[in-house]
Amino acid sequence: MASGTALIYDEEMTSHKLLWKDPICDIEVPERLSSSYEQLKRYHLVERCVPVPAREGSEEEILLVHSSEHLEVAKSTQTMNEEEMKRVSGNYDAFFFHPSTYHCARLAVGAALQLVDSVIAGKVCNGMALVRPPGHHSQRNAANGFCLFNNVAIAAEYAKRKYGLQRILIVDWDVHHGQGTQYIFEEDPSVLYFSWHRYEHQEFWPSLKKSDYDAVGLGRGKGSNINLPWNKVGMGNSDYLAAFFHVLLPMAFEFDPELVLVSSGYDSGIGDPEGQMNATPEVFAHLTHFLMQLANGKLCVILEGGYHLKSLSESVCMTVKTLLGDPIPQITGEMAPCLSAIESIHNVRAAHKPYWKWLMYEDTSFLQYLSTKSHLLEKANTNPSTEHESKINNTDETIKVERFLELHMKNILFPVPPIKTAASVESKTSAHLLPVHVVKEKDMNEVKALVSAFYADLVKEDETLLSLGSMLAVLDKILTKQVCNGIAESPAASVSVAVALRHSVRFGFQRVLCIFVGDMEIIPNTEDGRILMIHVCEKLQSVEKTNSKHYISLNWKEGAEGNDFFSAVFGFILPVAYSYQANLTVIAVGPNRSLGINGISLLFGLLRGLAESRILAVIENTEINLMQSVATALAGNSRPDFGVCAPPTQEKVHTLKILREQLQQEWKMLRCSVKNGISGN
């Protein structure tokens, strides 16, 4: 399995610049590239990446997507005088030519292709290309919105032709709609295109009807174009994460891409004069982390927009840091999508219901939308608690955000623990768990003293005591941040977990998320509120237990057809976990588990996004394949195999729906539907 992260940067691409006055185009400056690269250097990220040179994309490669007329016009601008260039630029909506533009645009195309080549050939696992001019507005026969050639679309077409790929996912998190990319692939079912974008009911540029959620693709491509329009400015971290949980990620897992390309615009980040959104740089670490779970980790991130230099460069750094496998900063602030975001999410789910198996049994329908739209918009405007304030676009605002980010990044960035994964396991097991770091068990007297203070009655057997010594040794290393995550085996997982939870809370952790997998007796805890339990089990739990808001039981038995647990992870577990904002995650795998290894790997892989990736795994049945998969998922430097994703049955969709309705008042990231989100409570 490939490892490493490619970084493509070529100073040449800073030579393309605006030579005359144009208040629309003057934000697309060369410093966008150079300041991002400088910030990467400051964080010492450049030296950790594999440098890959850019090259000029060939004419043949450009013609994969564009017309020869378009290519010829672009080529002809190289020798034009300023007057002529200005005239040609005027033929397009928001574009400027410079004598070096053609050369730069070919480098931008070539950089994207070099990245695809490096990832597909296995030279690296993933990577980022910093390019200018951007690409996603560019169409077969036209430059548009600062874009000349559609770098990402050409990269997708190239990957199809050169490597025979049959399923490519393009995620466009730029704040503008990549209408160019939509046009190029709208009839092509082999390319799944997802874009969220500032829309404001068609008020915002490029103001197209075809940017709305009901543009789902054409002909054979129906269902492979996903538009999520934002109808208000001020969308933030929760709105973006909700969009991933409730729309993009389940579709992406069902689609099962062989390669993921990101049209990575950071104008969707805070401070951007175009987007006027509120998402902070670390949200891009989370988005990147999620996409790394697809296509065996084959992820190519290609720069598009982003016009607040500080916001842009910090967000670029968060992306690259995550591609490198570093732990992920916690998202702070209240986690709840706003009503307008929920409405958009609801609508795109309704529009796509006919084309996606995982949506088949969801009771979100197009008709429901038609009958409630105007009423909902009123509600969205008048709910002060969940509505964001819009940003005023001026220099003061830019400077304010700069100062905010200066402090904010200091607050959220933390030293990366020197060791990724620790284990305290029998030598015969640990031999198979490389590259985990094996720690020595805690001194027995220390353990005895600790345990006698609480749970003394539970720990009668010497064997249990011994395993607690091992588990606590790993846990202590996590709590003191010497290691990021760890694995402990235990002959009695529920006892070990009870001790681990109590120990962590006493150590000072305020919110510990605990996920139990398996039918086992859970030892009740007295640390109410500081521990949230989600119990994934086959047997129905008794009512007394299940009505505490900090104990949730999720009845789930993995389907025979494949891994259907993804729908529960995105539709329930992650939304609850992100709402809770745990600062430590404990995952216990006990006896009689109802999930297979694939489902468990998925859980571990995705929960690394929480709690600065701090996870303690407690495993009762130490079968070697399970241990190996958990270690792989925790180490995060190669992708575990999640198996084939199968859609959930009607019964399971129903289970999730009931839970969502019960709990969305408390755990707000569960909200994904208008009926549930508003009139449902």
- Which residue ranges make up the site for ligand X5A (CB under 6 A)? 24, 94, 134, 137, 145-147, 174, 176, 205, 265, 267, 304-305
How far the first Cα of the chain sits from its last, in Å, is: 48
| Shortest distance, position 567 Cβ to ligand X5A, whole Å | 33
636 touches 549 (CB < 8 A): no
Residue 504, amino acid:
S
| Shortest distance, position 649 Cβ to ligand X5A, whole Å | 42
Q: Given the complex with ligand X5A, which of 177 and 442 has the nearer CB atom?
A: 177
Residue 145, amino acid:
G
Return the sign of the alpha-carbon dihedral for residues 272, 275, 281, 284: negative
- Contacting residues for 556 by C-beta, under 8 A, at least 6 apart: 536, 537, 538, 565, 568, 594, 595, 652, 655
Distance of CA 651 to the CA centre of its chain: 28
Task: Measure the CA–CA gap between 492 and 333, rounded to whole angstroms.
Answer: 37
Q: Which residue is nearest to ligand X5A (CB)?
A: 305
Q: Given the complex with ligand X5A, which of 23 and 415 has the nearer CB atom?
A: 23
Question: How many degrees, rounded to 5, is the angle at CA 223 between CA 217 and CA 229?
Answer: 70
- Catalytic residue positions, numbered: 137
Q: Is 499 helix (H, G, I), strand (E, B) or coil?
A: helix
| Shortest distance, position 176 Cβ to ligand X5A, whole Å | 5
| Shortest distance, position 2 Cβ to Zn ion, whole Å | 30
| Shortest distance, position 274 Cβ to ligand X5A, whole Å | 6
Q: Given the complex with Zn ion, which of 305 and 636 has the nearer CB atom?
A: 305
312 touches 320 (CB < 8 A): no
Task: List Cβ<8 Å contacts ≥24 apart for 252-256.
Answer: 252/169, 252/171, 252/192, 252/194, 252/291, 252/294, 253/294, 253/566, 253/570, 253/642, 253/645, 254/356, 254/357, 254/358, 254/645, 254/647, 255/167, 255/169, 255/192, 256/167, 256/294, 256/644, 256/645
Task: Measure the CA–CA gap between 151 and 176, rounded to whole angstroms.
Answer: 16
- Indicate the DSSP class of residue 114: H
Q: Is 188 in the site for Zn ion (CB under 5 A)?
A: no
Residue 314, amino acid:
E
How crowded is residue 371: how many other Cβ atoms within 10 Å of its Cβ? 9
Partner touching 24 among Zn ion, ligand X5A, none, CB below 5 to 8 Å by kind: ligand X5A
CA distances from 72 to 59, 132, 141, 612 (A): 10, 20, 11, 50
| Shortest distance, position 506 Cβ to Zn ion, whole Å | 48
| Shortest distance, position 668 Cβ to ligand X5A, whole Å | 30
- Indicate the DSSP class of residue 13: G
Strand order in the sheet with 168-172: 50-51, 5-9, 126-130, 299-303, 259-264, 168-172, 191-198, 225-230
- Indicate the DSSP class of residue 387: P
Site for Zn ion in 250-289 (CB under 5 A): 265, 267
Strand partners, 171: 194, 262
Partner touching 208 among Zn ion, ligand X5A, none, CB below 5 to 8 Å by kind: none
Q: Given the complex with ligand X5A, which of 25 and 523 has the nearer CB atom?
A: 25
Task: Measure the CA–CA gap between 199 and 202, rounded to whole angstroms.
Answer: 5
Residue among 105, 637, 73 at smallest CA distance from 325: 637
Q: Is 305 in the site for Zn ion (CB under 5 A)?
A: yes
CA distances from 202 to 75, 179, 342, 429 (A): 34, 13, 18, 59
| Shortest distance, position 16 Cβ to ligand X5A, whole Å | 13
- Across 570-627, the runs of DSSP E, i.e. the strands, are 584-589, 615-619
- Indicate the DSSP class of residue 79: G
Tokens representing residue 37 in the block: 């690269």
Q: Given the complex with ligand X5A, which of 210 and 675 has the nearer CB atom?
A: 210
Partner touching 80 among Zn ion, ligand X5A, none, CB below 5 to 8 Å by kind: none
Q: Given the complex with Zn ion, which of 263 and 330 has the nearer CB atom?
A: 263
Q: Given the complex with ligand X5A, which of 178 and 647 has the nearer CB atom?
A: 178
Partner touching 205 among ligand X5A, Zn ion, none, CB below 5 to 8 Å by kind: ligand X5A
Strand partners, 6: 50, 127
| Shortest distance, position 635 Cβ to ligand X5A, whole Å | 36
Burial class (CB in 10 A: 0-12, 13-18, 19+), 638: middle
Q: Given the complex with ligand X5A, which of 275 and 605 has the nearer CB atom?
A: 275
Q: How many residues make contact with Zn ion (CB under 5 A)?
A: 5
| Shortest distance, position 136 Cβ to ligand X5A, whole Å | 6
Partner touching 647 among ligand X5A, Zn ion, none, CB below 5 to 8 Å by kind: none
| Shortest distance, position 601 Cβ to ligand X5A, whole Å | 36
Q: Given the complex with ligand X5A, which of 198 and 286 has the nearer CB atom?
A: 198
Q: Is 229 in the site for Zn ion (CB under 5 A)?
A: no
Q: Given the complex with ligand X5A, which of 304 and 558 has the nearer CB atom?
A: 304
What is the dihedral angle through the alpha carbons of 82, 150, 68, 19, rounded to the nearest 10 degrees? 0
Q: Given the complex with Zn ion, which of 195 and 504 has the nearer CB atom?
A: 195
Q: Is 174 in the site for Zn ion (CB under 5 A)?
A: yes
Q: Is 176 in the site for Zn ion (CB under 5 A)?
A: yes
Q: Given the complex with ligand X5A, which of 176 and 652 has the nearer CB atom?
A: 176
Question: Stretches 70-78, 304-312, 471-479, 507-515: which one binds Zn ion (CB under 5 A)?
Answer: 304-312
| 162 conformational bin, left if phi > 0, alpha if psi -120 to 50, beta if neither | alpha
| Shortest distance, position 613 Cβ to ligand X5A, whole Å | 31
- Site residues (vs Zn ion, CB under 5 A): 174, 176, 265, 267, 305
